[in-house]
Amino acid sequence: MQATVDLDAYFERIQWGGGTDASYETLAGVHDAHVSHVPFENIDVLLGRPPRLDLASLQDKLVRNRRGGYCFEHVTLFAAVLEQLGFHPVRHSARVTLFRPRAESPRTHMFLTLPLGEHRFVLDPGFGRLAPRAPLPLTEGVQTRVGEDMHEMLRDGHWWVLRAQSGDQAFDAWSSTLEQDNPVDFEMANHFTATHPSSPFVANLMLRAFTPGGRVTLMNRDLTIWRGSQPHASQLADRAALRAVLAEYFGFDLPEIGTLRVPSIPEWG
């Protein structure tokens, strides 16, 4: 018997009370609600607990325990939700180009495309602080703006490139040839991302949460709280400060933070 998502619990988690038909309005609304209420975080990786991608584990973590996760967790759960609503998402991998050139980047990002009517959209709820909050038309150069952020899909030969702009900074975030991938491909990529010494996720603390007035981002000790377009930057003093930030802005408390080791923060052990 194929595992399913408890849609009532999921909709309560993302505070979605709108339609559930397979329409663009439902797609855009559920996508925005998911990104807005399920944060991005890689804490389990730094605790030595590689994330599990089966639906039961994802629902326990992201829905019932109100945690966040990284791309494989977000997108695996979101794809299952869409399928239960009658959509037909296609799973893809991408080479992230924020940290290294494309030729040196493995396929360690997961996203979706989705055909709907005469159009095809890119859905990427798990791309950290640069995640688009709306479906992106898979049409070159069409800009999608939400608040201070802009996203568009561009072509580079046989590659599709996600360009993200936040404020006055623009990034070529990832590249993909849009091959369809299978769940086992993401199990392998997840294992690499959560355990390999060259993965940025095993060395750095990375978090993002949206708030009613903006967003909160954390890279190692560097905390930025955005209120509208105004950033307020500070540094976390210790693990206790991190635990307080999680409780205030990310919606969960995690006592294990007291033993968290982050290689990029040597004084944290």
* SS3 at position 177: coil
Q: Is 54 a catalytic residue?
A: no
Active site residue 222: no
Which residue's entry shows tokens 């709907």? Answer: 116
The catalytic residue among 44, 109, 149, 151 is: 109
H or E, element range at 260: none
Distance CA 268, CA 262 (A): 7
CB 78 within 8 A of CB 2: no
Q: What is the C-alpha to C-alpha distance for residues 141 and 151, in angstroms, rounded to an integer?
A: 9
Q: ∠ CA(148), CA(202), CA(199), 5° rounding? A: 80
109 is catalytic: yes
Active-site choice (71, 74, 92, 149): 71
Check 31, 124, 149, 151 and give the catalytic one: 124
Gap between the Cα atoms of 28 and 123, Å rounded:
9
CA separation for the pair 138, 151 (Å, rounded): 11
Active site residues: 71, 109, 124
